[in-house]
Amino acid sequence: MYYAFDTWISRKYPQNPWAHYADDGVIHCRKEQEAFNLLEYLKKRMVECGLKIHPDKTKIVYCRSASSIQTCYTEYIII
């Protein structure tokens, strides 16, 4: 997982904050379209590494109250 995700996303998307625990994670995006695009690239990356993203556990959500969350300066989050 480290090579498949951590190294890849840090290199390809340094502007997108992210965090993960075991095989779960979140990626912050500023625009909805950016979130959809990044998710598609992430799916392709996982396939390249022999992994896949669980479709029932993956979604893009809108961060409605960004002002109340100090570290959430983004609008869309891939979960």
Alpha carbon distance 39, 28 (integer Å): 11
Provide the mean pLDDT of the chain.
82
Name the DSSP class of 68.
G
pLDDT in tens, 5-19: 889 999 999 999 898
The confidence band for 67, taking pLDDT boundaries of 50, 70 and 90, is: low
pLDDT for res 50: 92
Judge if pTM exceeds 0.75: yes
Determine contact, residues 2/9, Cβ cutoff 8 Å.
Answer: no
Alpha carbon distance 60, 77 (integer Å): 6
pLDDT for res 76: 59
Determine contact, residues 29/35, Cβ cutoff 8 Å.
Answer: yes
pLDDT for res 11: 93
26: Cβ contacts below 8 Å, ≥ 6 apart: 18, 19, 20, 77, 78, 79
**Of residues 75 and 41, which shows the higher confidence score?**
41
Determine contact, residues 77/26, Cβ cutoff 8 Å.
Answer: yes
